[in-house]
Structure 1
């Protein structure tokens, strides 16, 4: 009897703790709304007493919970407000998926408290006016996806991203980032990287993490100031589906090797220097573009099982 009584006490205590934790997240959500200025036409469900773990969805938000009643996923989108990124979000300590997008007047830098969200798996913040540096993500070893596209971020890409061993997808498209691309940027065995439409300079790194291009599925670096030659290690890119190096200052040839097949293209550089570069394709390859406005595809294309011309990036005209 004493053991049963003790178990009942422990069970009741656990329920109280879980209830307190749920109340904490409930209070945090209301605090987030308050810090956003309590927008009158947004987040109408977020009021005292609302059941946030019931997959609450409205036209501007989505909330989902873990089995223990903690906020696991939070999405905020298409809100018409002007406010900084709210620090209260950092108090959702069980958060795994965060999406904030289409809030064009969300401004200011990311708060350093982002590093408190150690359970993050996906971090998506896009189409805002956020500025300042890319977060370093010092403690987020579970992160598999980072998307920070269409913002106003500046500074260099933090080398700390190379320590995120599970990171598979990095999208920093259309910001104002500068400096060179860090080596070992995405260390996962299968990776896709989009750093296009920034102000990056320097050379293309010889490897991305330990994959050395061979497991890289996508590399999009167009519209930067990257210079030099394409590294020979790109010849190992047997599963590459997307490669866009257009509108940079690259020179020389695309290295060939492995299962790649040459397709010669004439390229016209932005500074009017003209040179020739080969491209390649493999069974999984969709399309390659390298600083060209005129692409000539010879008979070598018959050896490519599939090339999706409708996915062409960066060409003004084609000539077959």
Structure 2
């Protein structure tokens, strides 16, 4: 019954459905609170609830999943809920209770979209003024998902985060976390998703990230990480999305990363990376987006780019690349290509005119020369931009 904007009280007759196993009551305008008769639904396994939280909830001893994420409850959170030993999934909104780490079989904890500025009490002894407490590492070793994203959590990531050995998904994105990413993160060998985007983390990226060989999604963008990109990331052979843009990274792009055949999206933008794009690599056949804009990269663009046939988006702007654009006419699915603000020269390839999916081609502020092609996509000034190329402008006069 979720999302129907139902109004009025919950009918007491609903609680005569003694065999009911799933009940969804979110996104309505139910008044009168949740009746104590809720406890009569003894076989409930999944409950998504809106409204006040009755003590009777704790007597649903077969409950596996409790969803309160869209709730805006106030008052005390019934501590007896933590005696529901069957509970594996808990999604919450609002004030954080002091004892959720006592739920022995908890596998999935989501506390998202809050406006958390106070404490995050993991045990009754901690009142930690907004910091992420070290005692978070005392959560159940069965926990496979921890989602604290999009809050106002501060402090550092505790070293003992590596104790949560069953974690598959860890989200701490869009918070106020500071300090380094501890090397113990490499102990989380079951992780498939790690999202720390948009914090204030700093220091070097630990080489132990390469120990998380099952990793499929790594998001570390919009922090203040510095130093080199660890070549050990090349051990993450299943990674699909690698986002480490908008940091303070320097050094060269490790060839090991450009050899990960599973890559779909690689974002290294807005750093201070130097050197050239690795040339002697196998084509990344699944690569859809390569984003290396606004670095200090130089040299010629490698011919192998033309063999990455799945590329749709290529962002190379704001570097020091020189030479001709290599033969990339095989990228027939390309949608957005940005070569602007480099030192590229030579003629503008005419085959771009035949890129039927092309939405944006920016060749501006380079040293291209000769005539601008006039066929196909070049007829649309909203698609192709070529200003700031003196040789091209001269040929038009």
Is 1:240 paired with 2:263?
yes
Is 1:179 paired with 2:203?
yes
Residues 58-77 of structure 1: CA distance to partner in whole angstroms, max 9, x if unpaired?
Answer: 5328xxx9xx8521011113
Matches within 5 A, 1:136-215: 136-185=160-209, 187-208=212-233, 211-215=234-238
Q: Which structure has greater strand proportion?
A: 1
Deviation (angstroms), 1:166: 0.8
Distance 1:259 1:111, change over 3 A: same
Is 1:75 paired with 2:82?
no
Deviation (angstroms), 1:216: 2.4
Aligned residues: 260
Deviation (angstroms), 1:131: 0.4
Residue in 2 that maps onto 1:25: none
1:170 partner SS: strand
Deviation (angstroms), 1:182: 0.4
Q: Whole-Å Cα distance in 2 between the matches of residues 170 and 286 of structure 1? A: 25
2:116 partner SS: strand
What 5-or-longer segments of structure 1 have no aligned partner?
1-41
Matches within 5 A, 1:20-35: none
2:217/2:240 contact within 8 Å kept? yes
Find 1:249's aligned residue among 263, 266, 272: 272
Distance 1:216 1:308, change over 3 A: farther
Deviation (angstroms), 1:269: 4.5
Work out which of the two has the higher radius of gyration on C-alpha atoms and give 1 or 2.
Answer: 2
TM normalised by structure 1 equals 0.68
TM normalised by structure 2 equals 0.56
Higher deviation after alignment, 242-251 or 87-96: 87-96
Residue in 2 that maps onto 1:49: 56
Distance 1:266 1:179, change over 3 A: closer
Is 1:111 paired with 2:111?
no
2:312/2:331 contact within 8 Å kept? no
Residues 195-232 of structure 1: CA distance to partner in whole angstroms, max 9, x if unpaired?
Answer: 00001100000012xx5254322211111100111012
RMSD: 3.8
